Structure 1
């Protein structure tokens, strides 16, 4: 990556990949998405026999939809047309209470609640947008434009009007892939860390005497 001379006042980032020199263009998020919306504003009819998970913003963790034992089920008939139109270009984002948590949609059978918004990316690179939504600039914009008193809410109009500076599609793809690879590396090391913590816990139980024993198990 080449560092840009600070004295050159152009609409470009401080670091960028070699070979790219054009200014970035100011665009609204809505210009590069086919649809931005949110989920059901209410409570669906839950069903123990359902095969669709009803998710909200708290199910969006570290880029993934996380299903827990508390996650309720609904039947397919409860899904809206918008739920059924989610696709591999869709990014999910928490917009109520906790703001800005992101997850990729990977064809999971889900129904969205009101604290989960969806952004279906069309004219921008989806990996680029996913990374852009994590920047401090965008996060601060969201936090400064929340509504509500007790529970804060990020409105869909605010999301649609979000101002971005975007490069050519080729440069977007380079940047998006770069951060996607970083996320995958972080996830890999996190799994290793979790395994080491479990291993340590097991050793602590087996390498010290317990229950009146005079020697440890190992």
Structure 2
């Protein structure tokens, strides 16, 4: 069995350790019906992108959900193939079928990248139920992953965060160019 990936950043040479998922994260279950914390639902997240599609900081009500802290990870366990995940930088309440994951013995930014990797997705998509398939916590929590030392975790997490930010900026540029094209088409072809 391979003890480190095929590609590494410079100066990192130590082998990665095999760790059970529950040894690197805690699943948070603190319920809250606070009407002062913003609420996050599946519909608020761009699937597969891990970013919000609206400002939820003004979305208040007293529905009950799982309270999360900044840098916790929200993972949509319902229909996991939809890839509803979020790495929030604010405190709030996750409404619906989310797991709220908190890094322990690991770096949250690395765990956020890990949940997007094909190995995690394969395990999470081994679901129970047919109409409303959900990830099986027992399977996911007992899965073994290779984990580097914290310094390398930070480097990897920041690398993928930078890629996500670059993708988002390019998407915004594309949207702007599409709007320019639309405007010219409307003005030229009356």
TM-score scaled by structure 1? 0.73
1:26 equivalent among 18, 27, 31: 18
Shift of residue 64 of structure 1? 2.0
Shift of residue 74 of structure 1? 2.0
* Residue 140 (structure 1) aligned with residue 122 (structure 2): yes
1:176 equivalent among 157, 168, 175: 157
> CA separation in 2, counterparts of 1:207 and 1:199?
12
> CA separation in 2, counterparts of 1:178 and 1:24?
18
Shift of residue 23 of structure 1? 1.3
Which ranges in structure 1 are unaligned for 5 or more consecutive residues?
1-8, 45-49, 211-218
Task: Please give the secondary structure, in 1, of the residue aligned with 2:116.
Answer: coil
The structure with the larger Rg is 1
Asked whether the equivalents of residues 96 and 116 of structure 1 are also in contact (C-alpha less than 8 Å), the reply is yes
Q: How many residues align?
A: 185
Report the RMSD for the aligned CA atoms in angstroms: 2.8
Partner of 1:63: 50
> CA separation in 1, counterparts of 2:180 and 2:98?
36
Which ranges in structure 2 are unaligned for 5 or more consecutive residues?
none
1:105 equivalent among 85, 88, 91: 88
> CA separation in 2, counterparts of 1:122 and 1:33?
5
Shift of residue 98 of structure 1? 4.3
Asked whether the equivalents of residues 124 and 136 of structure 2 are also in contact (C-alpha less than 8 Å), the reply is no
Shift of residue 161 of structure 1? 2.0
